[in-house]
Amino acid sequence: QNRGKPNWEHLNEDLHVLIQCEDYENCALVKLEQAKDEINKLLKPTAEGEDYLKKKQLTELAI
């Protein structure tokens, strides 16, 4: 509903995430790969009823 309006141009961009890490090169590469894997897990849609994070959030809201 806000696409095309001023200050909402970012909605037309592809989804992107900036991951940064400061460490020794080998450690940083491992940490970045782990972060990438975790982010990819969050971006994949889950089957209805199998979304643990959503269930947890809804439970917390119900309290």
Q: Looking at the domain assignment, is residue 32 inside a domain?
A: yes
Q: Looking at the domain assignment, is residue 20 inside a domain?
A: yes
Q: Looking at the domain assignment, is residue 17 inside a domain?
A: yes
Q: What is the domain range of residue 34?
A: 9-62
Give yes or no for residue 28 having a pLDDT over 90: yes
pLDDT higher at 60 or 42:
60
Q: Looking at the domain assignment, is residue 3 inside a domain?
A: no
CA dihedral defined by 8, 10, 12, 15, rounded to 10 degrees? -140
Q: Looking at the domain assignment, is residue 2 inside a domain?
A: no
Domain count, the chain: 1
Q: Are 32 and 23 in contact (CB under 8 A)?
A: no
Residue 25 pLDDT: 97
